[in-house]
Amino acid sequence: MGGKLSVRIGDLKLTKSDKELLYSLVDSGMFSEGRYIREFERKWASYVGTKGCVTFNSGTSAMMAGFVALQHSPKYKDRVRKGSKAITTPLTYIATVNSVVTSGLEPVFVDVKDDFNIDEEKIAELLESSSDVGQYSIILPVHLLGYACEMDRINSLAKKYGLIVFEDAAEAHGSTYKGKRVGSLSTLSDFSFYMAHAVCAGELGTLHMNDPELKSLAESLKGNGRMCCCTVDERAKGLCPHAVEESSGIDPRYFSNVIGFNFKATEFQALLGLTQISKIGEIIRQRQENVRYLNDGLAKYSDALKLPEFSETVSYLSYPVVIEDASISRKRFRDALAESGIESRPLFGCIPTQQPAYAFLKSGYQGKVPKADYFGSRGFYIGCHQFMPQEQLDYVIKTFGGIIRQLKK
Ligand SMILES: Cc1ncc(COP(=O)(O)O)c(C=O)c1O
């Protein structure tokens, strides 16, 4: 084995035909939402298993629009009032919670389990012990790093207490729960197609639903609440359902029924994503193979490190590790990885106790979410993406061994 390698969290290598497709889009000059956005929505909805899918410029925007759509929907608005509470996990990428708060809802955190996901029994305890269950509106489980949450129990609790379930599946493209793809198991769900995710589009998000009313609200909200959500092609073909308004002098592209955002994506993002959707099976398989290989190579350090559970139902975002040996500092471990050219990221940090933006929640959650505190301070992840060659996997195993020997006291 040679010298220092560069081992990245994620990568995207386009084939010649992928590039040709993108060049043809450049030549067309048609960059705002059009046929590729619609094709992406059709294909991703069909892959996930939902009737509806609406694209957004990011997963965060998709989530925000989802919460606001619930607040406008005649079916859900009485429950999802502004200021109502969303029960979620403290261990997640901060976007989950930012989207709750910026949509006027309040996050309430319960602790996680050993698989990093929200503990469904803690949700049950919270609801059972509450004197006012009506203050809660949503359960927001996050399928962290690709691991599916215990959806049957979560859905049955939601049913019992009249709550809405919104799955944050941003990191779990193609993971399954009891044979069904995550993102298809609740009223709303979102995905992110940011770098390093299995299907990557640079930046892009989707919101999924089966309810047609939530779909039209989401489409409208992402375009500043406009009445007409047609693409240029659809309007040109006379498919716009707002012809009546148009005939009375109202241009439905510039009149709005609700107060919205500009969260629209571009054809570039959709086309980039489409080049990857077609390879999703192979991407998931390759990532699983890499996780299995790293687990085999690092098993000899399992007294010091908690390695990821392997399952063929998981579509891995990355390779998570928790440093269980208290004598090894996470900072020193990650610094040593960086010096060796191996990128790593902290396991998000426990939002209410460790994220500076949520310092106002810290005293209320001190000691209440111990597992999330532990993983948030002792965990990190590295890449396991489909472009990692064998040489990089071996290099990771060897480098981990060297660091453990050097840091273990
Ligand atoms: C769990 C989770 N939720 C939401 C998001 C938000 O997605 P985006 O970065 O596309 O806004 C991400 C992003 O990776 C995420 O990991």
What number does the ligand 1 atom closest to the CA of 171 have? Answer: 16
Q: Which residue's CA is minimally distant from atom 12 of ligand 1? A: 170
Alpha carbon 371 to chain centroid distance? 21
Identify which of 252, 382, 402 has the alpha carbon closest to the alpha carbon of residue 321. 382
CA R_g for the chain: 22
Domain ranges of the chain: 16-277, 280-407
Phi–psi pair at 395, nearest 5 degrees:
-65, -40
Q: Which is it for the CA torsion 17, 19, 25, 26, positive or negative? A: negative
pLDDT recorded at residue 239: 85
Mutating to test ligand 1, I would choose from 61, 91, 93 the residue with most ligand atoms within 8 A of its C-beta, which is: 93
Which ligand 1 atom is the nearest neighbour of the CA of 192?
10
Give the pLDDT confidence of 305-351 residue by residue, as tens digits: 999 999 999 999 999 999 999 999 999 999 999 999 999 999 999 99
Mean pLDDT of 287-298: 98
| Nearest by Cα to 260 from 66, 112, 392 | 66
Question: Which residues share a beta bridge with 190?
Answer: 168, 207
Minimum mean pLDDT range among 1-15, 33-47, 168-182, 199-213: 1-15
Residues 6+ positions from 87 with CB-CB distance below 8 Å: 108, 109, 110, 123, 126, 127, 136, 138, 139, 140, 163
> CA geometry: angle at 185 spanning 183 and 190, to 5°?
25
Ligand 1: centre distance to CA 22 (Å): 25
From 100, 171, 351, give the residue whose CB has the most ligand 1 atoms within 8 Å, as the site to mutate. Answer: 171
Put simply, whether the predicted model's pTM sits higher than 0.85 gets the answer yes
Fold (topology level) of 16-277: Aspartate Aminotransferase; domain 2 (3.40.640)
CATH architecture of 280-407: Alpha-Beta Complex (3.90)
> Pocket around ligand 1: residues whose beta carbon is below 6 Å from it?
58-60, 92-93, 95-96, 142, 168, 170-171, 192, 194, 205
Query: Which of the four pLDDT bands, split at 50, 70 and 90, describes residue 98?
Result: very high
Position 261 pLDDT exceeds 70: yes
* CA end-to-end distance (rounded Å), the chain: 28
Residues 6+ apart with CB under 8 A from 318: 9, 10, 145, 196, 345, 381, 382, 383, 384, 385
pLDDT per position as a tens digit, 57-82: 999 999 999 999 999 999 999 999 99
Give the residue among 126, 8, 33 at the shortest CA–CA distance from 396. Answer: 8
- What is the average pLDDT across 127-149? 98
Residue type, 281: G
pLDDT band of residue 409 (cuts 50, 70, 90) is confident
CA distance 17 to 249: 45
- Atom index in ligand 1 nearest the CA of residue 61 equals 11
Q: What is the DSSP string of 10-36?
A: ------HHHHHHHHHHHHHT--BSSHH
Tell me what the mean pLDDT of segment 100-122 comes to. 98
Per-residue confidence (pLDDT) for residue 2, from 0 to 100? 64
- For residue 1, pLDDT beyond 60: no
Stretch 157-179: mean pLDDT: 98
Probe residue for ligand 1, chosen from 57, 60, 94, 166 as the CB with the greatest number of ligand atoms within 8 Å:
60
